[in-house]
Amino acid sequence: MKKQRWRWTKGKLWFCDSCFTSIRVKRNYKPEHCCNGFECGCYGMPINPVFCDKCEQKIFGKVLR
């Protein structure tokens, strides 16, 4: 039995913050939060959300790259 070799990809798997489908993001992506949701109106949601192409088109009117 051979050892499984891990393939290096250009990104890591993450979930879209709107519809929760799996998408690829940059390896160094970390969601940033301003607080835990108690102190302001952000409700603990990330400042830099990640969206899939379908959700970006619905929200912004076009796909941002």
Tally of CB atoms within 10 A around 3:
5
Within a domain: 5: no
Please state the pTM of the whole predicted model: 0.66
Is 47 part of a structural domain of the chain?
yes
At 16, which amino acid appears?
Answer: C
**Is residue 43 a part of any domain in this protein?**
yes
Distance CA 7, CA 62 (A): 32
pLDDT tens digits, one per residue of 42-59: 888 888 889 998 998 998
Count of the separate structural domains present in the chain? 1
pLDDT digits (tens, 9 = 90+) for 14-35: 999 899 999 998 888 888 888 8
Residue 25 lies in a domain: yes
Domain that includes residue 46, residue range: 11-60
